[in-house]
Amino acid sequence: MTPRVTVILPAHNAEPWIGTAIASVLRQAYSDWELWVLENGSTDETLETAKRFAGPRVKVFDLGPVGFQGALQYAIENAESDWLARMDADDVMLPERLQVQMDFLAKHPEAVFVGSAFALLTPFGHIFERLPAIETREVDRAFLGIGRGRFGDPCTIFSRRAALAVGGVDPEFTMGDVPLWFRLLGRGTGWQLGQALHVYRMSPRSMSKERIFIEECQKARRKYAPEVMPAAFPPQTNPGNFWGLIVLLELLAGDTASMRRAIAELEREGDFRQEARRMQRRSYGGALAAAAYRFRYRKRYRHRPDWERDLVELAWRSTIPERQHGANSTAVTLPTIA
């Protein structure tokens, strides 16, 4: 029987994290799923790591260097499930994610996609919910067009049939899901759940930090929602001060050692040396400084050490995939796609 949901996981040079990502899918409360790992041209051991999990419910496809869009289009055209659940190779699904989203879709037959809120995972293993918590809301063209919301692409489940009906991904773009969400809104409604169901791994090397990714997202918004792109809202081409935020989060977690490692990274960025020195002085405040900042930012971030303990358990499980569904498994190898 064809599973109701196919989790699609495009993977490129994700060897350090892909095992944990796959393990988080294996422990989902919702049972009617399969996982497609769509390896696309990695130069590390991503493919070999993913193959250790391959089995009846986990299929690994060696697509060659087709890129993110090519992997997404392959799933849209070849999966048989009614719904495709997006997942990034360095992120983590919380156990109830698929169940909550599929329950919502069952009650909203007009919906063609549903995302969710998501938590942040720092490079040093600390997890934070962002506050204030968002309310479940409909995602329309205006919301997608402004682009300043919290809609997480890898947290989304979407209708495969609707995606086929609109032709799949927009060939004008090379990365990102934003054009697809706009196209799907022509076939039904989109939603975002207020509950955090996904953990997004923060990395200075993630696709969302690349200048070309930011430019393509803005290009998609100008193409599909020009009426909500005012002249006073110029395209964003600067990925922002990544390490400055990490320094703050590590301070809120009370992890002085990780905070100072993040400060060292921040200081390497010439534009932020003054800020790095200021945060260095604050790092000497210890528990007192952490408590003061937690109070100051209590309405913006909530530290989740319980989820961090869960992440450690997931990482352990990812090293022994044979305990999940047996060691006798195979992978699906395809010819390289030009």
The domain spanning residue 48 has which CATH number? 3.90.550.10
Residues 79 and 198 in one domain: yes
Q: CA separation (Å) from 181 to 112, 135, 184, 214, 221?
A: 9, 20, 5, 16, 11
Beta pairing class for 127-130 and 83-86: unpaired
109: its two tokens: 């037959």
Q: CA separation (Å) from 58 to 26, 98, 286, 329?
A: 9, 16, 45, 9
In a domain, 172, yes or no: yes
Residues 81 and 132 in one domain: yes
- Coil, strand, or helix at residue 35? strand
pLDDT over 50 at 158, yes or no? yes
| Burial of 187 (C-beta count, 10 Å sphere; 0-12/13-18/19+) | middle
The reported pLDDT for the residue numbered 330 is: 38
In a domain, 131, yes or no: yes
In a domain, 76, yes or no: yes
Residues 182 and 255 in one domain: no
Rounded to whole angstroms, the Cα distance separating 213 from 69 reads 12
- Within 10 angstroms of residue 228's Cβ, the number of other Cβ atoms is 16
In a domain, 210, yes or no: yes
Whole domain around residue 325: which residue ranges?
A: 5-229+315-333
Rounded to whole angstroms, the Cα distance separating 235 from 217 reads 9
- Comparing C-alpha atoms, which of 216, 214, 206, 243 is closest to residue 88? 206
Rounded to whole angstroms, the Cα distance separating 24 from 94 reads 7
Q: Could you please report the per-residue DSSP string of 152-187?
A: -GGG-EEEHHHHHHTTSS-TT-SS-SHHHHHHHTTT
124: its two tokens: 């040093």
Residues 25 and 160 in one domain: yes
Q: CA separation (Å) from 195 to 10, 117, 173, 262, 311?
A: 24, 6, 30, 29, 18
If residue 282 lies in a helix (H) or strand (E), which one and from where to where?
helix 273-283
For 139-157, write each residue's pLDDT tens digit.
999 888 876 557 889 999 9
- Coil, strand, or helix at residue 302? strand
For 181-216, write each residue's pLDDT tens digit.
999 999 999 999 999 999 999 988 766 556 777 788
Residues 183 and 284 in one domain: no
> Which is higher by pLDDT, 320 or 200?
200
Residues 262 and 158 in one domain: no
Q: Looking at 37-41, 201-205, 257-261, which range is the least confident one? A: 201-205
Which residues, at least 6 apart from 15, have a Cβ–Cβ distance to it below 8 Å? Answer: 42, 44, 45, 46, 49
pTM to 2 decimal places: 0.88
In a domain, 58, yes or no: yes
Residues 164 and 269 in one domain: no
In a domain, 50, yes or no: yes
In a domain, 310, yes or no: no
**Is residue 231 very low, low, confident or very high in pLDDT (cuts 50, 70, 90)?**
very low
Contact present, 166 and 184 (Cβ < 8 Å)? yes
Residues 15 and 139 in one domain: yes
Residues 123 and 266 in one domain: no
Residues 133 and 221 in one domain: yes
Residue 38 backbone phi and psi in degrees, to 5: -110, 85
Q: Residue 134 is which amino acid? A: I
In a domain, 71, yes or no: yes
Structural domain count of the chain: 2
Residues 49 and 82 in one domain: yes
